[in-house]
Structure 1
Amino acid sequence: MTTSSASEVENQGMWIIGYGSLIFKPPQHSFRVNGYLKGFIRRFWQSSSDHRGTPEAPGRVVTLVSLDDLKTNVKFHNDLHLYELRSTHQETEIKEGKESTPVEPIDSISHRVSTLEVDDLKVWGVAYYIEPKDVAEVKAYLDVREQDGYTTHKVPFHIINVENKNDVSEKVLADLPKDSLTGDFLIDSMIYIGTVDSESFIGPESVHETAKKIKSSQGPSGLNSEYLFELTKAVRHLDKENRSRDYYLEDLVKLVNDESL
């Protein structure tokens, strides 16, 4: 991955990908698109001492782990449980952090990481377009907001639909290339990732351990569980065909709501 700076994009506008709190707590932007990036998994494997925890008791927030890191980094073993490969859907609603109806356990499936391809892994999220006049201000804001272990990178993002269309969106989208296989609009977007080399990266961690930490943590930005609940609800509604549901997030919600945990 290559790093990106405001000076590189401030004359032409900037795209920024949101896969965590940026989905439900957006920066200033002109318009938003929903879609996905390939070759990553989303996990609550980034410690948070400035937003959803404290230096004495860090909480957990999401980051992305690339398939390359999953295959080559010594932190990971070959037999991981990958929620991203589940094919069934379970219909529930999350209201104020509680599931409205009882559901069967959401189980992951075991898969050997060495056999995976980039197209096997998709993380649904959003991308915001920042107009040139706002790039410096938004970039400065995000650099502070994402300072606890996150660094900037550029990754391809597949656009599925556009929200709050306007004159700017029509003009910007008209100039975008399309994926030759899917026909999706494709952007090369800036993203903040807490990589496996960051001191704040704590993965791999079991969903039970992560759920315990989320359930007990809070920081200046609020309860850690609120972050999980808001993110899970927001991700569910990114795609009308129900393809965006993240079963890892939903399993964490189930565990955090378990009074015996």
Structure 2
Amino acid sequence: MDSVNNICQNCNELWVFGYGSLVWKNADFEFESSVAGFLKGFKRRFYQNSIDHRGTEKFPGRVVTLIKSDDQNERVYGMGYKISNDKIMKVLNHLDYREKNGYERCETFFYPINNEQLKKKTIVYVANETNPSWNSDHDLHSIARQVFKAIGPSGDNISYVYNLCNAMREHFPNHYHEDRHLFELEKLLKEMKEKASE
């Protein structure tokens, strides 16, 4: 993916891809339509600390980002949002602020699940390992312990994971199980919650 400086200056629409909270939350920006679909060549991982939404500076939470896959056909499922030309800059300015904790705008292609041939040029926000909130501890048990305790302005971190899992089951009933990282994290959190209630 290449960083984007001048977005789609001569096009009449833009697509934004959501693979975290935008899969299950009502989008807080103006869009014409939304459709379920996927990106190719990436993995969804809880490698990004959250100090402004699902945690605090004192106790960060964990949220998802994308990393490149060795398999160019590997898919990350999520939601594509179509933005009209007259709303592009307003939406991008909003999202730049929303994703200010380490995420950068990048450009790739989005494939609608109901018509994969109609791929769309798409903006996606990605946090890479050079940003200050990148967490290099990728052990899933460590991630689960961090998520289990974290709470931020947007709510507790566990709900972020559970809501994403539930949305994946709802929108992608034939594919959600492919995201082992996400659903193994959910399993660990449920085990921790059950043990804490004993």
Asked if structure 2 preserves the Cα contact closer than 8 Å seen for 1:9 and 1:135, the reply is no
Matched, 1:137 2:86: no
Asked if structure 2 preserves the Cα contact closer than 8 Å seen for 1:36 and 1:157, the reply is yes
Q: Which residue of 1 is the match for residue 2 of structure 2?
A: 2
In structure 1, the gaps of 5 or more residues are 68-115, 163-182
* Equivalent residue runs for 1:232-247 within 5 Å: 232-240=165-173, 242-245=174-177, 246-247=179-180
TM superposition shift of 1:8: 3.6
Q: Which of the residues 171, 187, 199 maps onto 2:120?
A: 187
In the aligned structure 2, how far is the partner of 1:154 from the partner of 1:7?
9
Give CA deviations for 1:106-132 in whole Å, capped at 9, x if unaligned.
Answer: xxxxxxxxxx4312x211111100111
Say which is worse superposed, 145-154 or 197-206, in terms of deviation: 197-206
In structure 2, the gaps of 5 or more residues are none
Matching residue's letter, 2:21: S
Matching residue's letter, 1:229: Y
Asked if structure 2 preserves the Cα contact closer than 8 Å seen for 1:42 and 1:65, the reply is yes
More relative contact order, 1 or 2 (CA 8 Å, 6+ apart): 1
Q: Which residue of 2 is the match for residue 154 of structure 1?
A: 107
The alignment-based identity, stated in percent, is 34
TM superposition shift of 1:22: 1.3
Q: Which residue of 2 is the match for residue 220 of structure 1?
A: 153
TM superposition shift of 1:9: 4.2
TM-score by structure 2 length?
Answer: 0.88
Query: Could you say if the C-alpha distance between residues 219 and 9 of structure 1 is closer, same or farther in structure 2, counting changes exceeding 3 Å?
Result: farther
Asked if structure 2 preserves the Cα contact closer than 8 Å seen for 1:35 and 1:238, the reply is no
Q: Which residue of 2 is the match for residue 117 of structure 1?
A: 71
Matched, 1:61 2:63: yes
In the aligned structure 2, how far is the partner of 1:204 from the partner of 1:152?
24
Matching residue's letter, 1:117: D
Q: Secondary structure at the match of 2:56?
A: coil
Asked if structure 1 preserves the Cα contact closer than 8 Å seen for 2:8 and 2:14, the reply is no
CA RMSD of aligned residues (A): 1.9
Matching residue's letter, 1:118: Q
Matching residue's letter, 2:78: G
Query: Could you say if the C-alpha distance between residues 6 and 15 of structure 1 is closer, same or farther in structure 2, counting changes exceeding 3 Å?
Result: farther
Q: Which residue of 2 is the match for residue 171 of structure 1?
A: none
Larger radius of gyration: 1
Q: Which residue of 1 is the match for residue 22 of structure 2?
A: 22
Q: Which residue of 2 is the match for residue 205 of structure 1?
A: 138
How many residues are treated as equivalent by the alignment? 191
